[in-house]
């Protein structure tokens, strides 16, 4: 069993508006997905978040989004393939510059919100995102959702020489295709800490999950997304970290 990396969306404050408990969650994660200013974050927030990540030895990932501060990047927007690549380069480059000024670097890319969901639903958009990453720096992995069958995405990644990091979620229900159940449906989000930890360990072991229709589902994932937006979430992240460390030691 390869080590399952914990990643968290972070640096999503803006100006005097604060979101997330970044300082509390940072000690327990491996990878920080740092907002790049289009859905959240600003130059000062980005600098502070990068500094915090570097102080904890956490990998820094660019977390680019559609240009949608009001909608927090969760609304689909119409971009051509070239426009999509332009906004990706703009955001990755901005964060990379802030990292380099502090002796760090961007280590991977994970699109945010609607951009993430749209690329998982549209192979042409996924290709545009992978092509953008390859054009910026082919050594940067792209983080995307692990599903029942990752082969189509893997084929595009291989075509451009971009490493893919497949991501799973401990606190979300899955459908039979290995995609997340819509938040608009009951049971889409797990709230019980024990259930969240058990799902994290199940994914880490590569064991079967149960989809929302009762079918058996196995996800092949490299990384697990955790959330740190309230005290309960931070406590759950800490327990997931401890459980994974204990399992790795066995």
Each residue's pLDDT, cut to its tens digit, for the chain (250 residues) gives 458 999 999 999 999 999 999 999 999 999 999 999 999 999 999 999 999 999 999 999 999 999 999 999 999 999 999 999 999 999 999 999 999 999 999 999 999 999 999 999 999 999 999 999 999 999 999 999 999 999 999 999 999 999 999 999 988 999 999 999 988 888 898 888 888 889 999 998 889 999 999 999 999 999 999 888 777 788 889 989 998 888 777 7
CA dist 26 and 29 (Å) reads 6
CA dist 169 and 240 (Å) reads 12
SS3 108: strand
pTM, entire model: 0.94
Contact 1, 28 (CB under 8 A): no
First to last CA, the chain: 11
| CA-wise closest residue to 94 among 133, 150, 38 | 38
């Amino acid at each position: 069993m390869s080590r399952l990396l914990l990643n968290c969306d972070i640096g999503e404050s803006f100006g005097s508006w604060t979101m997330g408990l970044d300082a509390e969650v940072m000690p327990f994660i491996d990878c920080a997905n740092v907002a790049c200013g289009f859905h959240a974050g600003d130059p000062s927030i980005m600098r502070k978040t990068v500094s915090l990540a570097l102080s904890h030895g956490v990998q820094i990932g660019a977390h680019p989004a559609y240009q949608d501060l009001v909608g927090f990047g969760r609304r689909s927007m119409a971009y051509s393939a070239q426009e999509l690549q332009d906004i990706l380069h703009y955001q990755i480059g901005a964060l990379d510059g802030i990292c380099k000024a502090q002796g760090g670097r961007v280590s991977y890319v994970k699109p945010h919100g609607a951009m993430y969901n749209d690329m998982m639903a549209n192979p042409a958009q996924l290709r545009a995102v992978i092509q953008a990453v390859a054009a910026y720096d082919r050594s940067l992995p792209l983080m995307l959702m692990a599903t029942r069958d990752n082969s189509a995405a893997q084929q595009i990644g291989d075509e451009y020489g971009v490493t893919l990091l497949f991501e799973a979620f401990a606190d979300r229900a899955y459908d039979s295709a290995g995609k997340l159940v819509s938040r608009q449906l009951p049971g889409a989000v797990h709230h019980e800490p024990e259930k969240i930890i058990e799902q994290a360990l199940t994914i880490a072991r590569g064991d079967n999950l149960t989809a929302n229709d009762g079918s058996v589902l196995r996800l092949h994932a490299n990384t697990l997304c955790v959330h740190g937006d309230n005290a309960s979430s931070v406590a759950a992240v800490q327990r997931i970290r401890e459980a994974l460390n204990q399992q790795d030691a066995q």
